Structure 1
Amino acid sequence: MQPRTRLDLATKDLEAPLAIVDLDAFDHNAADLVRRAGGKPIRVASKSVRVRALLDRVLARPGYAGLMCYSLPEALWLSSCDTAEDLLVAYPTVDHAALRALAADKKARGRVTIMVDSTAHLDLVDAALGEDHPEIRVCLELDVSWRPLPGLHVGPRRSPVHTEGDAVRLARAVVARKGFRLVGVMAYEGQVAGIGDAPAGRRAWGLAVRWMQGRSVPELTERRAAAVAAVRRVADLEFVNGGGTGSLETTGADRSVTELAAGSGLVGPTLFDAYRAFSPRPAALFALPVVRRPKKNVATLFAGGYVASGTGTPDRLPSPHLPSGLELIGLEGAGEVQTPVVGKAADRLELGDRVWLRHAKAGELAERFAEYHLVSGDRVEAVVPTYRGEGKAFG
């Protein structure tokens, strides 16, 4: 059975717009991530999923352990739901109310680790809780961007802790500070994990990315190993986290890293089509109905302006997937109330037919829908709420 036929059959009694997760593709991707991890456990990046039922599904598989959350309120909620007993908040928090909730929740304090990259973060926690607060678990973030020349920065602008010396100074400050326990180090190489090295139609850019990554990986691996070894002489670390979906092989080869992070590879959004080393299957799709046929080779879909965060470039737009042969119109793109698609396949579409699209990023689709329909074969196996469907929005 053709993929579009299968999906249309599975959802024939449902009204579009709607969103599905193809469980066969999701499970295939989950298994492939474990294969690529080479024996190291994977901490699931929750922001790339944002559906508790799917987090439960992947955490039940061998090879996965713990969650990487994107906000402290999210981690506290997932702890209260017993989704996981090990929750790392990947970004520093300045949320005083959430910090007070963490301090007041003994169970959460044993499960949740917050991120710091300066003593100012420690000061903020003290200001929110008072200096005699209960012990808070913290993780030090090491910056592993590539800086080949003075003033040249390749990678995310994250932590100011770049050198071994920076890491040791902060580690000592944490250990000396009452009310904190240093339990981990995180070092995310976004210039490798988050930039595809084989973008379609951009051969020169792909070559440049591969050149950059080929020089960045050895440098960051050596620097990370030295920094981790130095921090371990200061504190008894429980974990060293690194990497992402795009760098599991290279990060996993780093002996200083004890666990990997991944999430987007479970879902297979379009931004992860541009890698040579792996090809995730599209698992999350959304369907829009045809509402107009303005002219030959054009069909207009209802809604669809689900644009991904980031650079604001065309690769952040959703992409028509099924039927094949459709494209967005450059001057209209994907709109709040309508999304025109063009191509010969449009002439086979009638009012009410569905076009299946893919989002550019993995988790942001869940912000647009209250529920996902989990499809197995040609039937809907379950309907589960997204974070939005559970009344949760974490920014």
Structure 2
Amino acid sequence: MSLDLLGRPAGAEPWTQPADYWAARTAAISDLSGPIATIDLDALRYNALDLVIRSSGVPIRVASKSIRVREVLAATLALAGYRGILAFTLPEALWLAETHDDVVLGYPSVDRAAIAALAADEVAAARITLMVDDLAQLDLIDAVVPAGRRPALRVAIDVDASWRAPILGHIGVRRSPVHDVADVQRLARAIVRREGFSLVGLMMYEAQIAGQPDAAGSGDTVVRWMQRRSGRELGERRGEIVAALRGIAPLAFVNGGGTGSLESTASDLAVTETTAGSGLLAGHLFDGYRAFTPAPAAAFALEVVRKPAPDIVTVLGGGWIASGPALASRQPLPVWPEGLQTLGREGAGEVQTPLRGEAARGLTVGDRVWFRHAKSGELSERVDRFHLVAGGARVGEVPTYRGEGKSFL
């Protein structure tokens, strides 16, 4: 079905009343069996509009990795304030470019078959921007299809946005080897001199700010200090890099940030667009930020199949662990009934997940427990569809990438 996020206002934010909110979702799927994944359209609309407000008029590029549902991507892009997609693999970008005209690849690709397909399709070549941070990536592309036998390919430079702290060292994720102004200038000049490529953009993703919760809790004071210092350093360096690059090639975009950093990234005058995706479906990893409180738009329900003890129920499945370090924070979070917790020695299991808590005493075989996934888009790899609810009623369904027979990574 075609989603419309323009119609109704978000209303009274029903998710702030958990008992009614989750009871309504349970009733909406009462005639369905098995693991059921849902999206509440009112919560999705609330999150989408909140992201626009937080980005302060700077256009938001939607990170497809955090959604992996084409109808949700299209509905979000229909809202004012959103422009373009940040894809995560080249095969995915080719697929999305069939219906979208601005797809930036967030990561370098060495998929030879996909590169050949891109080189053979002038429309896709005009719609897709590749991400590079090393001339070796251009060498590989030329080895697949030489420059004279394909249209010029659009490329953007991915610059390391991490903070190289004087004492602490590298703070952030390990992405690009390109960090300083001189690094960027050398790579940019080499690209513009090279036949078959057109330098059109720059990306700098500050994971140490966007992906690091800063709300009250263990270590939050240190996190905030790090983010302030890193933000100041990044603002200066990004401005210098963009000024230097504009003297080498006309840039169509300067991309930065993520769901967790929209305010600070949008305030950087060197940035022309931000990126967000996780804040739409709102995995529970994004509950720990001071600047925003996302609505739990996506959630899944698992059925109780046994009761090994009066205060323990076991649901079938549940081991849908998010990527990243193997921490408890990467496990699905049981959210309703309230008070249920996984067992320390078992966690969320592939075939079963025991849950302990007083609420278990009121559950019986066949009842449902609601979970939220840690990272938004990765839930879509586990199910073939999301059932849509609005106003407490089921109103339709949409396929995930998996439901459309696609599995990109």
Give the TM-score normalised by structure 2.
0.94
In the TM superposition, what are the counterparts of 1:256-271 in structure 2 within 5 Å? Answer: 256-271=270-285
| Distance across 2 between alignment mates of 1:316 and 1:102 | 35
Q: What SS does structure 1 have at the residue aligned with 2:169?
A: coil
Match of 1:176 in 2: 193
Match of 1:106 in 2: 122
Match of 1:214 in 2: 228
| Distance across 2 between alignment mates of 1:32 and 1:16 | 33
| Distance across 2 between alignment mates of 1:58 and 1:171 | 33
Residue 34 of structure 2: which of 16, 25, 28 is its match?
A: 16
Residue 53 of structure 1: which of 71, 81, 101 is its match?
A: 71
Q: CA deviation at 1:151?
A: 7.8
1:352 aligns with 2:369: no
Match of 2:11 in 1: none
Q: What SS does structure 2 have at the residue aligned with 1:195?
A: coil
| Distance across 1 between alignment mates of 2:387 and 2:168 | 48
Match of 2:5 in 1: none
In the TM superposition, what are the counterparts of 1:189-338 in structure 2 within 5 Å? Answer: 189-198=206-215, 202-203=217-218, 205-338=219-352
| Distance across 2 between alignment mates of 1:57 and 1:376 | 15
Q: What SS does structure 2 have at the residue aligned with 1:2?
A: helix
1:79 aligns with 2:111: no
Residue 153 of structure 2: which of 136, 155, 159 is its match?
A: 136
Q: CA deviation at 1:144?
A: 1.1
Q: What SS does structure 1 have at the residue aligned with 2:34?
A: coil
In the TM superposition, what are the counterparts of 1:26-45 in structure 2 within 5 Å? Answer: 26-45=44-63
| Distance across 2 between alignment mates of 1:321 and 1:38 | 32
Aligned residues: 390
Q: CA deviation at 1:214?
A: 1.0
Residue 373 of structure 1: which of 387, 397, 401 is its match?
A: 387
**Partner AA of 1:60 in structure 2:** A
| Distance across 2 between alignment mates of 1:63 and 1:191 | 25
| Runs of 5+ consecutive residues of structure 2 not aligned to the other structure | 1-18
**Partner AA of 2:396 in structure 1:** A
1:89 aligns with 2:105: yes
Q: What SS does structure 2 have at the residue aligned with 1:340?
A: strand
Q: CA deviation at 1:71?
A: 0.5
CA contact (8 A) 2:329 2:374 kept: yes
Q: What SS does structure 2 have at the residue aligned with 1:389?
A: helix
For residues 57-93 of structure 1, what are the alpha-carbon distances to aligned partners after superposition, in whole Å with 9 as ceiling and x for unaligned? 101111000000000000000112x0x2100000000
**Partner AA of 1:105 in structure 2:** D
Q: What SS does structure 1 have at the residue aligned with 2:163?
A: coil
Match of 1:117 in 2: 133
1:3 aligns with 2:21: yes
| Distance across 1 between alignment mates of 2:391 and 2:355 | 27
Match of 2:142 in 1: 126
| Runs of 5+ consecutive residues of structure 1 not aligned to the other structure | none
Q: What SS does structure 1 have at the residue aligned with 2:365?
A: coil
**Partner AA of 1:296 in structure 2:** P
| Distance across 1 between alignment mates of 2:246 and 2:395 | 47
Q: CA deviation at 1:41?
A: 0.3
Q: CA deviation at 1:120?
A: 1.0
Give the TM-score normalised by structure 1.
0.97
Q: What SS does structure 1 have at the residue aligned with 2:350?
A: coil
Q: CA deviation at 1:206?
A: 1.0
Match of 2:13 in 1: none
For residues 264-297 of structure 1, what are the alpha-carbon distances to aligned partners after superposition, in whole Å with 9 as ceiling and x for unaligned? 0001111101111111011110000000111121
Q: CA deviation at 1:5?
A: 1.4
| Distance across 1 between alignment mates of 2:177 and 2:364 | 55
In the TM superposition, what are the counterparts of 1:148-159 in structure 2 within 5 Å? Answer: 148-149=165-166, 152-159=169-176
**Partner AA of 1:159 in structure 2:** S
CA contact (8 A) 2:21 2:392 kept: no
CA contact (8 A) 2:62 2:86 kept: yes
Q: What SS does structure 1 have at the residue aligned with 2:165?
A: coil
| Distance across 2 between alignment mates of 1:185 and 1:325 | 45
For residues 189-232 of structure 1, what are the alpha-carbon distances to aligned partners after superposition, in whole Å with 9 as ceiling and x for unaligned? 00000010126xx33x1111111101000000100010011001
**Partner AA of 1:174 in structure 2:** I
CA contact (8 A) 2:154 2:199 kept: yes
The runs of 4+ residues in structure 1 deviating greater than 4 Å are none
CA RMSD of aligned residues (A): 1.0
For residues 308-349 of structure 1, what are the alpha-carbon distances to aligned partners after superposition, in whole Å with 9 as ceiling and x for unaligned? 000111100001011111111111100111101111111111
